[in-house]
Chains A and B, each alone.
Chain A
Amino acid sequence: MIFEVFRQERKGQPFQHAGSVVAPDEQFAEIYAREQYGRRQESVALWLVARDDVSEIAEFPDEFDLKYRRVDGYSIKTRLREARERAGTLDMAPGGSDAA
């Protein structure tokens, strides 16, 4: 059986994928993982998950153009300038009249 190993480096940190071990059962997998990923005190905890139990999602189609959910979906540069011009505050903007 293949077990994926996740390790936590310090308390409070996220568990991150470290690698995998192959073992006949869970008990052996624990011994191997402890030796392989913890013998230098480099982990405070390990998670072992049988590879077959991992469900993976690897495709994220974006048919509806969901850009409005992200910061790169907004470009305010031109409009902000327009607004400042109209309000007569171009000079007050950070960096003076050259501001974005």
Chain B
Amino acid sequence: MDARANEFLEYVQSGGQVETGDWMPDEYRARLVKFIEMHGNSELMGVLPERDWILRAPTLQRKLALTAKIQDEVGHAQLIYRVVEDLGKPRGACLDDLVSGKAKFHNVFHYPTKTWGDVGVIAWLVDAAAIVSQKALLKCSYAPYARIMKKICWEESFHILHGRDVILAMVTGTDEQFELVQEALDRWWEPLMHFHGNPIPAEDDPMFIWRIKSQGNEEARQQFLDGYVPQIRELGLVVPDPNLRKDEERGVWLYTEPDWEKLRSVVTGHGPASEERLAFRRLSRQDVAWVERVVLAEAA
């Protein structure tokens, strides 16, 4: 690394923030683009599992709330792609790389949503896991991204409440409804444990080194477990990991080691719903291509 890049590294490590027009090392820019682009892709792909349930939502109120949440997530994708565009990668190129399978999106969006229980678990726990990661981005060394995360976190807090409300309605309902939640939790636990990534020490994580993230993967997972395992258990739900417990002395959660090979396989497009989701995104991209053409032609 040359002297200028070193100076930049010291600057961000001491809490300094960077604006779009500032000089930055190529590696920093490349890592930002890759990371933020994946975040944008995840917001965009994340609406597909929920979209499947708009027509099947149990009440009009739920349908409206779910639709609003989906609009928020698409809005997040747009805000985030805007940040990527300013770093030099056009939105069209992001979408091309997404549908061709070159760019990644978050593991949890590679799974199917089988029941209404899944919708509750996603809005409550997947969004809670996401908020833990996103809060660690509020101090991101790249200021435009940090600023937009403030708005995103604010909107996500409504999603968690909506999810919790869906779950509470079901766990206080019939036995079958309760079972739907437990069964969904059983299926979602593994993806949730994968969510924050393998426990690479923060000091070895380039995302932390450049202060793009302000905490390591394991720290994030511990924070999620700390916040949500008690909330899951108080409803009488069972976390499907017999080894999960808190070591009160060390203040850390112990759990069965997740299969990290499986996570790698899922995020590289081999999850149970990866192909179907990408095919849908490809199709809708073709379907709306004419809108882009007309709008741009009219504005020209």
Contact = CB atoms under 8 A, between A and B. Distances in A.
Q: Do A and B come from one complex?
A: yes
A35 interface: yes
A36 B299 contact: no
A13 B79 CA distance: 24
B82 A21 contact: yes
B299 A20 contact: no
A28 B299 contact: yes
B95 to A, nearest CB: 14
Contact of B82 (A22, A28, A58): A22
B296 A36 contact: no
Interface of B is mostly: helix
A19 B147 contact: yes
B145 to A, nearest CB: 11
Contact of A24 (B71, B151, B298): B298
Interface string B82-104: 10011000010000000000000
A36 B75 contact: yes
Contacts of B78: 21, 32, 36
Contacts of A40: 155
Contact of B75 (A18, A22, A35): A35
B148 interface: yes
A25 interface: yes
Given A35-B75, A36-B75, A24 B296 contact: yes
Contact of A20 (B82, B295, B298): B82
Interface residues of A, number: 16
Contact of A19 (B85, B151, B298): B151
Contacts of A32: 78
A19 B299 contact: no
Contacts of B75: 35-36
Contacts, number: 31
A23 to B, nearest CB: 8
A17 B151 CA distance: 12
Interface in B236-255: none
Most buried by B among A28, A35, A36, A58: A36
Most buried by B among A19, A32, A39: A19
A11 to B, nearest CB: 21
Contact of B79 (A19, A28, A39): A19
Nearest to A25: B299
Given A19-B151, A35-B75, A36-B75, A28 B295 contact: yes
A64 to B, nearest CB: 26
Nearest to B79: A19
Contacts of B295: 24, 28
B296 A19 contact: no
Contacts of B85: 22
Contacts of B71: 39
Interface string B288-300: 0000000110111
Given A21-B82, A28-B295, A58-B21, 15 more contacts: A17-B147, A19-B82, A19-B148, A19-B151, A20-B86, A21-B78, A22-B85, A24-B295, A24-B299, A24-B300, A28-B299, A32-B78, A36-B79, A39-B71, A56-B21
26 contacts: A18-B151, A19-B79, A19-B147, A19-B148, A19-B151, A20-B82, A20-B86, A21-B78, A21-B82, A22-B82, A22-B91, A24-B295, A24-B296, A24-B299, A24-B300, A25-B299, A28-B295, A28-B299, A32-B78, A35-B75, A36-B75, A36-B78, A36-B79, A39-B71, A56-B21, A58-B21
